[in-house]
Amino acid sequence: MIEVHNIQKRFGEQLVLKGISTTFSPGKCNMIIGKSGAGKTVFLNCLVGLVTPEEGEILLDDRNIVPMSQKEKSVIRKEMGMLFQKNALFDSMNIEENVMFPLDMFTNKSLEEKKERVNFCLERVNLVNVNKKYPSEISGGMMKRVALARAMVLNPKYLFCDEPNSGLDPKTSIIIDELIKEITEEYKITTVINTHDMNSVIGIGDKIIYFYEGEKNWEGTNKEVLNTDNENLNDFIFASKFLKEIRNLNKK
Amino acid sequence: MFVLSFLEGVGKYLFMLRSTISKPEKVSMYWRETVRQMYDIGVGSFGIIAIVSVFIGGVTAVQFGYKFIELAFIPMWWLGAIVRDTMILELAPTITALLLAGKIGSNIATELGTMRITEQIDAMDIMGVNTTSFLVGPKIVGGVLIVPALVMVAMLLGTYGGMIAGEMGGFYTDQEYLYGLQDDFRPLYIRVMFVKSIVFPFLITSISCYKGFYVKGGALQLGKASTEAVVISSIAVVIANFLIAFIML
Ligand SMILES: Nc1ncnc2c1ncn2[C@@H]1O[C@H](COP(=O)(O)OP(=O)(O)O)[C@@H](O)[C@H]1O
Ligand SMILES: [Mg+2]
């Protein structure tokens, strides 16, 4: 469970997050949507403690991460997994070493045990026979899956994904979305996903928050999101002329 | 303005060094990384350092040799002592350091800079790794552990280069040169060489780490950071070289 109370973040003159409050429940895919520049990445970076907001609280199961020192954060971070927009795989390590890295760093398991866990996670994301390949040798969709395997290897309580589908084709996007959803439900992870892909929102979004210029402009479920009167949100969802036409046809 | 941003840079650099010193999450991982760095620096730079030292030693012998022939009252075996002392005091540590500044300085800055702009460092941060300590520490320690060995090799090969070149120039025989090598040997010079071969790699690795670790932007800024790493660590080396000589001699 993550509770966010009124966080504000400023870069120089620009107020990027203008007092955001919300809650995210375990076992659910919580989606942040909004145009580029709306503040989604900054918000996610606040949740993981890479960016510190000037105001407000972020409670990860009642532990406020905002005032924490680097050392205190590093304890709580062992419970976090994160998928980065650019995957952030370590390019000096092969796939197996990438997924094993958190185990190497934070556990005292034997090599056998670590290998077993790594293979389990790789199989969970449907990747086999790539253990010895390097990130540069596999496709974008596979990299995303490796990143997901690495994010889940230590059994995280929280999973954060920044635009997990960017750069992927629609089919692969759906596969990644489904994986995230399954893992979230299976392990009761509190998952927060930034996206501007409406496909994912409708497909896997349990709770949806719409950011507009650094404010929370709307909040609801994926059932509600298509039938809202919120002008900004409608503009965002039905951005293309094609979609607007379809909606107008439906309304008639 | 320049002074301010320079001071700010120094502050940030010292801050990085300070946060590098912390208890490792996992000693074995840090050690593995340190050994990898020692291997990269040692093996990766051995060839160029060996070649350069032999020739530098040779040139030193030849240039002094021509002068000595004119000054007939100086015995030629003296060249052995001169090549030895210039190699120990100056050429072995300084040339090695300048070569390394060019080679590993840009390597380190590029490696860390790439990790920064492709979010690999953030990824480690999120895992709870102390990234300054894990990424910077082993590079500094690895450099400080392996470079003295490289300097030693440079010193020996340079002195050997002096022997070959002097023979080729007809200045002295092996025996005369070896006799010269043993003349008036001062342990202080070895101490100076040792201090230099620890201070120089410390400066090169830490400055290059600093330049790479805090890169912001993209490929362009990365290239710039890598060049700056080489330039600034070379300048730091020659300044430190002067200070060490000034203080110790
Ligand atoms: N480190 C930073 N320094 C200054 N401005 C930033 C920084 N990070 C983000 N911003 C600004 O904050 C705003 C929100 O950015 P971001 O959260 O990346 O948007 P997005 O919703 O596309 O992820 C943008 O206007 C961006 O320029
Ligand atoms: Mg973003």
Q: What is the DSSP letter of A109?
A: -
Domain boundaries, chain A: 1-79+162-252, 88-155
Contacts of B176 (CB under 8 A, 6+ apart): B76, B77, B80
**Do residues B204 and B174 make contact, with C-beta atoms less than 8 angstroms apart?**
no
Span B156-174, average pLDDT: 92
- Please report, for residues A47, A133, B34, B35, B230, the alpha-carbon distance to residue B29 in angstroms, rounded to integers and kept in the order given: 28, 22, 9, 10, 28
Span A94-106, average pLDDT: 95
Contacts of B69 (CB under 8 A, 6+ apart): B76, B171
On whether any CB of chain B is under 8 Å from the CB of A72, the answer is no
% of chain A exceeding 90 in pLDDT: 80
The answer to whether the CB atoms of A89 and B127 lie below 8 A apart is no
Give the pLDDT of residue A235: 87
Contacts of B118 (CB under 8 A, 6+ apart): A86, A88, A91
The answer to whether the CB atoms of A88 and B129 lie below 8 A apart is no
Instruction: Tell me what the pLDDT averaged over chain B comes to.
Output: 94
What token pair was written down for B179?
A: 């006799």
Residue A43 alpha carbon, nearest atom of ligand 1:
17
The answer to whether the CB atoms of B123 and A73 lie below 8 A apart is no
Q: How far is the CA of A110 from the centre of ligand 2 (A)?
A: 38
Domain count, chain B: 1
Tokens 């530098």, residue located: B56
Give the pLDDT of residue A63: 97
CB-count exposure of residue A123 (10 Å: 0-12, 13-18, 19+): exposed
The angle that helices B120-127 and A70-77 make with each other, rounded to 10 degrees, is 80
Beta bridge partners of A60: A2, A63
Q: Which of helix, strand or coil describes residue A124?
A: helix
**Do residues B30 and B36 make contact, with C-beta atoms less than 8 angstroms apart?**
no
Ligand 1 lined by A16 (C-beta under 6 Å)? yes
Instruction: Answer yes or no: pTM beyond 0.90.
Output: no
Give the pLDDT of residue B169: 86
pLDDT exceeds cutoff 80 at A250: no
Which of B18, B26, B127 is the best residue to mutate to test the A interface, defined by the most A CB atoms within 10 Å of its own CB?
A: B127
Q: How far is the CA of A10 from the centre of ligand 1 (A)?
A: 10
CATH of domain A1-79+162-252: 3.40.50.300
Give the pLDDT of residue A22: 97
Furthest C-alpha separation in chain B: 72
Contacts of A123 (CB under 8 A, 6+ apart): none
Highest mean pLDDT among A164-178, B87-101, B174-188: B87-101
Give the pLDDT of residue B1: 78
Facing residue for B25 by CB, picked from A88, A89, A105 = A105
**Do residues B81 and B181 make contact, with C-beta atoms less than 8 angstroms apart?**
yes
pLDDT tens digit sequence for B186-237:
999 999 999 999 999 999 999 999 999 999 999 999 999 999 999 999 999 9
Span A183-193, average pLDDT: 96
% of chain B exceeding 70 in pLDDT: 100
Contacts of B48 (CB under 8 A, 6+ apart): B99, B103
Give the pLDDT of residue A89: 97
Instruction: Tell me what the pLDDT averaged over chain A comes to.
Output: 93
Confidence class for position A166, pLDDT limits 50, 70, 90: confident
If one compares A237 and A146, the residue with the highest pLDDT of the two is: A146
Output the residue whose Cα is nearest ligand 1's atom 14.
Answer: A39
**Do residues B179 and B77 make contact, with C-beta atoms less than 8 angstroms apart?**
yes
Give the pLDDT of residue B74: 85
On whether any CB of chain B is under 8 Å from the CB of A85, the answer is yes
How big is the CA angle at B175 (ends B170 and B179), to the nearest 5 degrees?
Answer: 110
Span B102-119, average pLDDT: 96
Confidence class for position A239, pLDDT limits 50, 70, 90: confident
On whether any CB of chain B is under 8 Å from the CB of A110, the answer is no
pLDDT tens digit sequence for A41-96:
999 999 999 999 999 999 999 999 999 998 899 899 999 999 998 899 999 999 99
DSSP secondary structure string for all residues of chain B: -HHHHHHHHHHHHHHHHHHHSS--S-HHHHHHHHHHHHHHHHHHHHHHHHHHHHHHHHHHHHHHHHHHHHSTTS-TTHHHHHHHHHIIIIIHHHHHHHHHHHHHHHHHHHHHHHHHHTTHHHHHHHHT--HIIIIIHHHHHHHHHHHHHHHHHHHHHHHHHHHHHHHHTTS--HHHHHHHHTTT--HHHHHHHHHHHHHHHHHHHHHHHHHHHT--SSHHHHHHHHHHHHHHHHHHHHHHHHHHHHHH-
pLDDT exceeds cutoff 90 at A161: yes
Give the pLDDT of residue B67: 86
- Please report, for residues A69, A212, B26, B67, the alpha-carbon distance to residue A64 in angstroms, rounded to integers and kept in the order given: 11, 25, 27, 75
On whether any CB of chain B is under 8 Å from the CB of A106, the answer is yes
Give the pLDDT of residue A237: 86
Give the pLDDT of residue B69: 84
B158 within domain boundaries: yes
Domain span including residue B186: 27-248
Highest mean pLDDT among A156-160, A233-237, B71-75, B82-86: A156-160
Q: ipTM for the complex?
A: 0.86
Q: Which of helix, strand or coil describes residue A229?
A: coil
pLDDT tens digit sequence for B117-148:
999 999 999 998 999 999 999 999 999 999 99
Q: What is the DSSP letter of A159?
A: E
